[in-house]
Amino acid sequence: MNLALFDLDNTLLAGDSDFEWAQYLISRGVLDREAYETRNQDFYDQYKAGTLDIHAFLDFQLKPLSRHPRRVLDAWHADFMTTRILPIITPKGRELVRRHQAEGALTALVTATNSFITAPIAHELGIAHLVATEPAQKDGEFTGSVSGTPSFREGKIARVEAWLAGLGRDWRSFGQSWFYSDSLNDLPLLEKVSHPVAVDPDPSLARQARERGWPIISLR
């Protein structure tokens, strides 16, 4: 069996679900535009530049989840999926996932974005396994904190290995492994697999991919 791992934001999506969720909440008046829009853009720019403090970002991103009942959040997310996410899922991304699945690979979405945002997206893409940053919960409601290691940079490797261990597997269980990503932040996991693929990469990852002879593809 082979393993195929997919980053989400700016890889299978022609956009960033983290960024879009905050913008969606701003558009609904849930978050104050003046207070949040500039910070949201700043964090997004830091991510693209490879300078993001993941814990500062998660504090910004997860705190709003703790201020609203889960049933309200779920209703907002359903609208968010329809208005913000479905339009940016790339057909070529769907096709790539289906191709690996048709070849019998174990597939997973591996993303730094939290699982509240990304679990419905994974379902929409037909990917049964999700490795994501986990928001802490108490009695079914979000606390505003993160649970465990964020799925970011080297943390993605730790979270993937924990997921595989839960299936009774490890890297040696697979003849070949793929990881598709757009971001230099994902360099650790790209270096771990046997087939790293840069997808519509940021300039830093594009440079690394060219120097290392990695494939560069576009799903746009």
Q: Which of 9, 18, 200, 202 is catalytic?
A: 9
Q: Tell me how many domains the chain contains.
A: 1
Decide if 181 is inside a domain: yes
Q: Any catalytic annotation for residue 59?
A: no
Whole-prediction pTM value?
0.94
Decide if 218 is inside a domain: no
Decide if 219 is inside a domain: no
CATH number at residue 146: 3.40.50.1000
pLDDT tens track for 51-92: 888 888 888 888 889 999 999 999 999 999 999 999 999 999
DSSP 77-141: HHHHIIIIIGGGB-HHHHHHHHHHHHTT-EEEEEEEEEHHHHHHHHHHHT--EEEEEEEEEETTE
Decide if 69 is inside a domain: yes
pLDDT tens track for 9-55: 999 999 999 999 999 999 999 888 887 888 888 888 888 888 888 88
Residue-range definition of the domain harbouring residue 132: 1-212
The enclosing H or E element of 191 equals: helix 187-192
Decide if 220 is inside a domain: no
Q: Any catalytic annotation for residue 7?
A: yes
